[in-house]
Amino acid sequence: MKPPTQSRWNFPAPIDWPLDDDVVAVGADLSPDTILYAYAHGMFPMYLDAKHRNLGWWSPVERGVVPLENFHASRSLRKSAHKFHCTVNTAFLAVMHKCATTHTQGNWITQDFIDSYGALHQMGHAHSVEVWNERNELVGGLYGLRINKFFAGESMFHTETDASKMALMHLVSLMTLAGMALLDTQWNTDHLASLGCTTVPRDRYLALLAEAVTEESPFS
């Protein structure tokens, strides 16, 4: 897949981005072309206010990434693995709805986002990993967007211990098998750091991204 090279919106070039602010643009829309262009150029959308009126485009000064070879699966996580099974792209909208409703703070996943990423999923650009328990209940998962060797993790959830970690572990395994290179988590957190997530400065991230989005993966 060739990443978009142009957008009908006048996004600023990275050289014009503020050096001390994660928000680099405001406005535009959530059409598939706009979203794909933004991700291919280091930005992702989130609303700026609780009333969901101002759409911001973010490129964190310090970006969270998971080096695939450094993913850390703890002994307790490996021990929990037998309780779950994972699938891919079988319940994309359900995963998005769970991500939108199980987080109590900072929830930015509105119906507009669900509609837009659902359309990207139908187009083959957005993907989900689902985690099911022994009763075949959806208890964890994540979703995000892929461009060639790049995957942007958007959000994940769990309703049982270790279920979201299982989703991430499964994603890392799939990306490794597919010869992919860059797993973006937007920001780093203590939870992600325990799994091997690290932080890179914005300019380094943009260099890694430019390489990953232009190199096609040998496997879908």
**Which amino acid belongs to residue 212?**
A
User: Residue 19: is its pLDDT beyond 80?
Assistant: yes
The long-range contacts involving 172-179, CB below 8 angstroms and separated by at least 24 positions, are 172/66, 172/68, 172/71, 174/88, 174/129, 175/68, 175/151, 176/68, 176/69, 177/219, 178/217, 178/218, 178/219, 178/220, 179/149, 179/217, 179/218, 179/219
Q: pLDDT confidence of 41, banded at 50, 70, 90?
A: very high
Instruction: Extract the tokens encoding 66.
Output: 């998971």
Distance CA 208, CA 64 (A): 12
Say yes or no to pLDDT of 105 above 70.
Answer: no
- Residue 15 has φ and ψ, to the nearest 5°, of -65, -20
Q: What distance in Å separates the CA atoms of residue 217 and residue 215, rounded to the nearest whole number?
A: 6
- Assess contact for 187 and 157: CB atoms under 8 A: no
The whole-number pLDDT of residue 51 equals: 64
pLDDT for the residue numbered 178:
93
Count CB neighbours of 179 within 10 A. Answer: 12
Looking at residue 140, what is its pLDDT? 96
User: Residue 162 in contact with residue 55, Cβ under 8 Å?
Assistant: no
- pLDDT per position as a tens digit, 164-214: 999 999 999 999 999 999 999 999 989 888 888 999 999 999 999 999 999
How far apart (Å, rounded) are the C-alpha atoms in residues 77 and 191?
13
Interhelix angle 92-102/111-122, rounded to 10 degrees, is 160
- Ordered by where they begin, the domains of the chain are 14-60 (3.30.70), 64-214 (3.40.630.70)
Assign 106 a pLDDT band (cuts: 50, 70, 90). Answer: low
